[in-house]
Amino acid sequence: MDISVVSQARAILGECPIWNPGDGRLWWTDVFGEKLHRLDPGTGDDAVVSLPGRMNSFGFRTGGGLVAGTWTGFGLFDAELAGFTRLSDLRAAQPGFFLNDGRCDRRGRYWAATVCETYDLPGAALFRLDPDGSHRRMADGLLASNGIAFSPDDRTMYYADSVVGVVWAFDFDIDDGVPTRRRLFASMHRPDGAAVDSDGCYWVTSFGKGEVIRFTPAGTEDRRVRLPTTQTAMCAFGGPSLDTLYVTTGTFRLTQDAAARDGLAGSVFAITGLGATGVPEPAFLG
């Protein structure tokens, strides 16, 4: 196994890394920096786009552009990443909550979930955005939603609460897009962003501990990777063979002194030699 730094971006909060096979780049967002990064890990070239606000998560659209989970709700970016269309204003419906982690399923729907800004009100919810632009509330009762992922066979959906420190598993029907039978999958320190490999194992970052942990489909921890910085936010498989695990990090919640001591905080890391491969990320049909 080898861990290397592919970008020392000093992101405030690096989130939502997604490999784009079309341009061979890792796309990711710095939430509080309000930037979208398109990184070529081989050359270090990083094409940065300024965003009109905070974008916590996104997915590619089949016709070009992005579907996004923004600070205020769902929205769409056009193919040039210049025009933005707001689809919902979730903060108006539920003040004090914002959209956070998100991911597309293999029927072209986009899933994103909310976080309570003060981390003390269990009103965070999981939403499903359909290709027609309508959204539906699918699960409730969390403080800080994270870790959305789907098993390769589309029969299990994962969803975490970072504050409580649990990862839930649902039975999932890919045809009707309804998660059912929620059950405890794993307990850990602050589960954050996650990815699933081709064997169905769930890889999840532990925010504040600088770790990525792999759980088997049965919920058993069988691997733990330590990175040389603490604020590990999300991971994703990328590269031409999807055999590199990329991890975004941040300086978020570090004191000024701690951030100054940690020169790698906010970097993007690449982990190779894991013996695992990812699955392609599906796109949004809207």
147 membership: H or E segment, kind and range: strand 145-150
CA distance 146 to 275: 25
Comparing C-alpha atoms, which of 146, 126, 144 is closest to residue 136? 126
**CA distances (Å), 52 to each of 70, 138, 142, 237, 280, in order?**
10, 28, 28, 28, 28
Under 8 Å CB-to-CB from 11, ≥6 apart: which residues? Answer: 30, 33, 37, 248, 249, 250, 251, 266, 267, 268
Which residue type sits at 231?
Q
The catalytic site residues sit at 192
CB 200, CB 276: distance < 8 Å: no
